[in-house]
Amino acid sequence: MNAVIQTISLNKTYGKGINQFHALKDIQLSIYEGEFVAIMGTSGSGKSTLLHLLSGLDQPTTGEVLFNGKALHRLNDSQLTELRRDQIGFIFQFFHLIPVLSAEENVTLPAMLAGKTNQQLTVKARQLLQFMGIGQLAKSLPSQMSGGQQQRVAIARSLINDPKLILADEPTGSLDSKTSKEILTILQRFCAERNHSLAMVTHDPHVAAYADRVIFLQDGRIVYEHTFTSDHPQANASFLMKVVEEIGGSIS
Amino acid sequence: MRQLVWRFFYGYKKRTGFAILGVALAMIILVISQILLATLEQASELGIKQKYGNYDLMVGYQKTKQFLSESDIAKIKRIPQVKEIAPFYYPYIDENPIFFDGSPIPFIYIGVNNNPLAKEMDLIKRIKQGQLPRAGEVVLSLPYMKKKGLRIGDSVKIPFASQKKKRLTISGILHVTDVNIALFDLAWLQETTAKQGRITMMLVQLTDLKSKAAVIEQIRNQFPRIHIDKRDLIDKERENLGGLKPVVYGLNVTILIGSALLMITILQMSLHERKKELATIRLLGGKKNQLFRLVIHEAILVSTSGSLLGLGGGVGLSFLLQQSLMKWMALPIVPIVIPWTLILLSLMGGILFITLASLIPAYRSSQVPPMVAFRQAAPQSQKQKPVIKWVSLLCIISSVTLTIWNLMRTPSQTIYLVSGLLFTIGVFLAVSWILPLLVRGISWVFQLVQSSDRILSSRNTLRQLHRSTQLASVLMLAIIIGNVGLSILYLLKDEQEKQLSEIYPMEYILDANTSHSEAGFSEQIYDSIAKLPHMKAFPLYNRGHFSTQNLDIKKIKKEKLSLFPENGSYQTLVSLIGSDLETIYKQLPFRIISGQINSSALKQNGVVITKTFSELTGYKLGDPIALKEDTQLKWGDGPPKRITLKIVGIIDPYPFAPKDDLLLITHTDITKKIFGISTIDKIYFDVTKSSAKKEIEKQINQKLKDPSLSKAILTSRTEEFGKFIEQYKQRLWLLGAAVSLIALFSLLGLLNNTASSLQERRAEFAVLRALGGKRRQVLRLILWEGILVTTAGGFLGMIVSIFLGAHLIAALDKTLWDFPITGSLYCLAFSPIIGLIANFIPAFSTVNGKISRNLTTDAE
């Protein structure tokens, strides 16, 4: 299998002198086509920093991030922007929908930013919303939708450009457990059926249990990695809870 | 509480800085304008006193037989507003001229007291060598001294009318060139001519200029036939400054309003940003009035700091910019005068006004329940009450209806004024609902030619518009003041040009400046001027004043004529003037509506009337017009004479008189022979060779140094227009400064607003960047938001200024359509630039912010 994204000896340091803080230390990670990877860790373990480095939103102090074999640090701001727009989809904890745009317009936003405004895009956006089960809300504004509905719109938005990689930062963090399960099932289906790769940051073992593989970060290092063999989230979650206890950190 | 006020003040440095800057800018203008006015006032007074002398009236007679006695002088001195007098005595002003040593020019003898006020007279200032004469001394004019080789201290024999000669010592030299003058000690001259206590004229200095009219009235009551030189020319020069004051004060008030609006907006934003902190204070037991006081104290702190900064800045800039300011405003450069009391009072007034303005956000903030404050993520627009919406609509509709109705009838100027004001009030009340419509409209127009990401900026603009409504109003205010002010100034300039062309049918007017039935220039003087090289001159003879005797009351426009009862009927007062109409017609053509203007016809008791005269009085061609000399205003002695003249022609207009002047023009033979009017009131002239103008002016001014011509004034159209242009430039400059400052207020406010709004939406823009929005794309989106707000405000300002300006001009008796639209279009083109500049810095900072950091910002 080909690695969509790969990190080589990735380090990220903030501050200088005695205020220096190592957010990430020597991270070696590969995510393959169609793979769903959950990144777990305690608060401050470097999960979100890793996600930002993977997306090119932040630059590593040392090391490299390769996207389809291309080193991100060799790309300029404009090329990085285009890469994010065309190859990467984002899902955020707080959805970050644009409040003045309707669900349909929010979904087409990345395409809109790319200067594409054809009828096909609108049709695709509607199909995606339909697929998410909120086709009837296409013309609604975010303020008229529930949290779950908003996150569905955000997922549809992340898929509009058929990205190779989806980066999700606590996508269910603001949702109740029932809605969370629905969202995670959708994400799972996307990876399986459409061959998208997904890197998801979470602190919740019940959420990470939907992934194919899980990695644990502690103090900026990968301390544990596991590939699930079972398709049952419940069983995977129980396993992960044990691991959390063994590692000794409180993942909350 | 004090500590908390200080913490808030100091903690929000940028916001506080903006507010202080806004107040300081307003105060700087306030201080500079006060300094400018005080400096101008002083410079103007100094200039006037130096140029014309430090006295306010010249009172007396120009005849030897008429004089003021010692008791008369005492009466005048007793008038409370009279501060000082300086008496002069002319023993031979109109009879027994003294010629000596064969000189063809007679000597003018003048008795003068050695007092400071006497030295203010232009003639006395010309004693450049020596001193004023004491008893037994004389001051002689330079040509005579040179001719005779005399020096100060020499002894000279001076003849008097009594044929006696007196030996006197020369105490000084009078630097005049073309007249012979001998100055004596007043008391000595009175005694020598045996006219003790007699005074021909005196200079009067008043305690207060405002009392001039009252003093003139009191003197006239006691001495009805006395001549009073009111020194109108000086008052006219003072008028310029007087006219400048209301403009400066008006603009200062507008600037303060703009500053107060800016302060309200900044405070509102600042309170919104601290909503949670303020809510915490409330939850911890802070009372509503404590919160209210907190905001007020902060406003006082900001306005006081801004005022102090403005005071320093204003005084400093006045010194720094003094020369440039005076140059731009076409004013003389003089030392700066700082009216501290007035400045401090203005600053205190400004602080009070701005603090009062802050009551609105302070009250609103104190009234929000703490939990509501906690929950609100974005500032809630202050929803306008429906009644205000309806009132605004009513104002606009009524205004338009009134204008249409007014256009359909004989237009009333008052209705135009009311309609214009009603529309302006209506639009200002309607800003909060008209502005979104305009933003939508402008966005729609631009969407046709721009890419689709504009949808986002136009929707964001609409979402954030409630923050910017007041600032759009400030911009509107700037545009309205600029446009309307400019239009009125243009109109005044046009009017002045037209008026001057009417007053000055020729380039120069030499005005004898005499009162009714008082002799003007002699024909000899006219001849001496007309004979000058390159000269084209016309005399305007003094006019006789007559009452009509056969006015047909049925034919006249009663409301436009002042009538008085005579011989059982109503008559009116008209003027008769002798004129060579044929010659005038050749040089300054006018319309001959009917009849003729031949001298021969006029000599045979013919008269020409103007079209306006005919319309007002009902007299027609061929009608006889019976006249009787007015008893009060008649020329010469004897009973009033009567004459009947036949109307031989009707013209339009008579070039040397205003259109509505009730003037009859006949041949000079008639006015001279029958009524004894042979002097000239005004001499109109052109100099045909432009290079000779200066020399001619110089020669005429030399002639005017003759004391018998002391009242005469030489004015020119170019000079008069030049004076107006100076005033015009000053007003234009002030208007420009005020408009720029108000525009700057809106720019500062928008900058502050955008900074605050972008800070709240930083995650939103980070998402756009994360989703693939390029820096320049996001920058464009944010800039577009500013452009939309200011373009909408500018457009609305343009509409109001066109409507209001047109109506104000119509109210000033002009055509409704005279308003210059070009200026408004410039404003419209300029307004997006304000939005662009205001949004640039915060937009630039937003797009260059770290995306990953901004993304983690929780939605509040």
pLDDT, tens digit (0-9, with 9 covering 90-100), for B467-490: 788 888 888 888 888 888 888 888
Of residues B456, B773, B855, nearest to A100 (C-beta): B456
A78 touches chain B (CB under 8 A): yes
Q: According to the model, what pLDDT value does residue B402 have?
A: 92
Cβ-Cβ contacts under 8 Å, B452 against chain A: 112, 115, 117
pLDDT at B266 over 70: yes
pLDDT at A252 over 50: no
Q: According to the model, what pLDDT value does residue B328 have?
A: 67
Locate tokens 């089960």: which residue?
A133
A118 touches chain B (CB under 8 A): no
- Per-residue pLDDT, averaged over A126-153, amounts to 90
Of residues A81, A96, A112, nearest to B767 (C-beta): A96
Q: How far apart (Å, rounded) are the C-alpha atoms in residues B667 and B600? A: 9
B550 touches chain A (CB under 8 A): no
B702 touches chain A (CB under 8 A): no
- Per-residue pLDDT, averaged over B126-134, amounts to 85
Cβ-Cβ contacts under 8 Å, A82 against chain B: 772
More confident residue, B226 or B76: B76
What one-character DSSP code corresponds to residue A101? S
| H-state helical runs in B448-562 | 454-503, 523-530
pLDDT tens for each residue of A191-242: 888 888 999 999 889 999 999 999 999 889 999 899 988 878 888 888 888 8
| Maximum alpha-carbon separation in chain A | 56
Q: According to the model, what pLDDT value does residue A231 have?
A: 78
pLDDT at B859 over 50: no
B858 touches chain A (CB under 8 A): yes
Q: According to the model, what pLDDT value does residue B244 have?
A: 65
Question: Nearest-CA neighbor of B640 among B617, B674, B604, B665?
Answer: B674
Q: How far apart (Å, rounded) are the C-alpha atoms in residues B314 and B255? A: 15
Share of chain B above pLDDT 90, in %: 12
Question: Nearest-CA neighbor of B203 among B127, B134, B116, B78?
Answer: B116
CB contact under 8 A, A96 and B856: no
pLDDT at A91 over 50: yes
- Distance, in angstroms, between B773 CA and closest chain A CA? 5
Q: According to the model, what pLDDT value does residue B240 have?
A: 62
pLDDT at A106 over 60: yes
Asked whether B73 and B205 are in contact (CB, 8 A), the reply is no
B453 touches chain A (CB under 8 A): yes
A53 pLDDT tier (thresholds 50, 70, 90): very high
Query: In DSSP terms, which residues pair with B57 in a beta bridge?
Result: B204
- Per-residue pLDDT, averaged over B754-773, amounts to 86
| H-state helical runs in B193-287 | 212-222, 232-273, 275-283
Nearest residue on chain A to B776, judged by CA atoms?
A78
Nearest residue on chain A to B852, judged by CA atoms?
A57
In what helix (H) or strand (E) does residue B228 lie, and over which residues does it extend?
strand B227-229
Asked whether A13 and A21 are in contact (CB, 8 A), the reply is yes
Query: Strand order of the sheet with strand B508-511?
Result: B535-541, B680-687, B508-511, B713-716
Asked whether A186 and A152 are in contact (CB, 8 A), the reply is yes
CB contact under 8 A, A58 and B850: yes
B30 pLDDT tier (thresholds 50, 70, 90): confident
- Per-residue pLDDT, averaged over B364-380, amounts to 61
For residue A60, being part of any structural domain is answered with no
- Distance, in angstroms, between B13 CA and closest chain A CA? 26
Q: Which residues lie closer than 8 Å to A176 by C-beta, 6 or more apart?
A: A147, A148
- Per-residue pLDDT, averaged over A120-140, amounts to 89
pLDDT at B380 over 60: no
A17 touches chain B (CB under 8 A): no
CB contact under 8 A, B455 and A48: no
For residue A56, being part of any structural domain is answered with no
Residue range of the domain that includes A111: 35-47+89-247
Of residues B453, B463, B852, nearest to A113 (C-beta): B453
A81 touches chain B (CB under 8 A): yes
What is the signed CA dihedral for B483, B486, B487, B489, rounded to 10 degrees?
160
For residue A52, being part of any structural domain is answered with no
- In one letter, which amino acid is B763? A
Q: Which of B771, B780, B781 to mutate to test the interface with A (most CBs of A within 10 A)?
A: B771
Of residues A48, A82, A100, nearest to B463 (C-beta): A100
Query: Strand order of the sheet with strand A165-169?
Result: A88-91, A165-169, A197-202, A36-41, A213-218, A221-227
B418 pLDDT tier (thresholds 50, 70, 90): very high
Of residues B455, B851, B856, nearest to A48 (C-beta): B856
- Per-residue pLDDT, averaged over B568-596, amounts to 87
**CATH number (domain holding residue A151):** 3.40.50.300
pLDDT at A251 over 70: no
Q: According to the model, what pLDDT value does residue B378 have?
A: 45
A111 pLDDT tier (thresholds 50, 70, 90): confident
For residue A252, being part of any structural domain is answered with no
Q: How far apart (Å, rounded) are the C-alpha atoms in residues B776 and A231? A: 46
State whether the Cα torsion B326-B332-B334-B337 is positive or negative.
negative
Question: Nearest-CA neighbor of B770 among A169, A134, A60?
Answer: A169
For residue A83, being part of any structural domain is answered with no
| Averaged confidence pLDDT in chain B | 82
Q: According to the model, what pLDDT value does residue B292 have?
A: 81
CB contact under 8 A, B772 and A84: yes
- Distance, in angstroms, between A73 CA and closest chain B CA? 16
- Distance, in angstroms, between A123 CA and closest chain B CA? 17
Q: According to the model, what pLDDT value does residue B375 have?
A: 57
A221 touches chain B (CB under 8 A): no
Most confident of B230-234, B245-249, B308-312, B336-340: B308-312
Burial class (CB in 10 A: 0-12, 13-18, 19+), A104: buried
Q: According to the model, what pLDDT value does residue B299 have?
A: 82
Domain count, chain A: 1
Q: How far apart (Å, rounded) are the C-alpha atoms in residues B834 and B825? A: 15
Question: Nearest-CA neighbor of B838 among B782, B769, B759?
Answer: B782
Cβ-Cβ contacts under 8 Å, B852 against chain A: 48-49, 52, 57-58
- In one letter, which amino acid is A59? Q
For residue A53, being part of any structural domain is answered with no
Question: Nearest-CA neighbor of B89 among B165, B190, B21?
Answer: B190
pLDDT tens for each residue of B137-175: 999 888 788 778 888 888 888 888 776 788 889 998 888
Q: How far apart (Å, rounded) are the C-alpha atoms in residues B537 and B540? A: 10
B449 pLDDT tier (thresholds 50, 70, 90): low
CB contact under 8 A, B772 and A115: no
Nearest residue on chain B to A113, judged by CA atoms?
B773
Cα→Cα distances B164→B156, B254, B273, Å: 13, 73, 99
For residue A28, being part of any structural domain is answered with no
pLDDT at B329 over 70: no
Q: According to the model, what pLDDT value does residue A138 have?
A: 92
- Distance, in angstroms, between A232 CA and closest chain B CA? 32
What one-character DSSP code corresponds to residue B274? T
- In one letter, which amino acid is A171? P
A50 pLDDT tier (thresholds 50, 70, 90): very high
Nearest residue on chain A to B781, judged by CA atoms?
A113
Q: According to the model, what pLDDT value does residue B52 have?
A: 77
- Distance, in angstroms, between A32 CA and closest chain B CA? 22
pLDDT at B263 over 90: no
Q: According to the model, what pLDDT value does residue B818 have?
A: 59
Query: In DSSP terms, which residues pair with B647 in a beta bridge?
Result: B607
- Residues 9-38 of chain B with CB under 8 A from chain A are none
Q: How many CB pairs under 8 A join A and B?
A: 79
Cβ-Cβ contacts under 8 Å, A112 against chain B: 452-453, 455-456
Strands in B10-163 per DSSP E: 57-60, 82-89, 107-112, 127-130, 137-141, 155-159
Q: Which of A47, A57, A76, A95 to mutate to test the interface with B (most CBs of B within 10 A)?
A: A57
Query: In DSSP terms, which residues pair with B138 in a beta bridge?
Result: B170, B184
Q: Which of A82, A96, A119, A162 to mutate to test the interface with B (most CBs of B within 10 A)?
A: A96
A101 touches chain B (CB under 8 A): yes
What one-character DSSP code corresponds to residue B644? E
Q: According to the model, what pLDDT value does residue B384 have?
A: 58
- Per-residue pLDDT, averaged over B320-337, amounts to 71
Cβ-Cβ contacts under 8 Å, A101 against chain B: 455-456, 459
Q: What is the pTM of this model?
A: 0.69
Q: According to the model, what pLDDT value does residue B377 have?
A: 45
Identify the three-state secondary structure at position B657.
coil
For residue A104, being part of any structural domain is answered with yes
- Distance, in angstroms, between A120 CA and closest chain B CA? 15
More confident residue, B165 or A60: A60
Cα→Cα distances A191→A124, A164, A168, A177, A197, Å: 18, 10, 13, 21, 6
pLDDT tens for each residue of B607-663: 999 998 898 888 999 999 999 887 766 677 778 888 999 999 999 888 888 777 888
Asked whether B314 and B32 are in contact (CB, 8 A), the reply is yes
Q: According to the model, what pLDDT value does residue B177 have?
A: 65
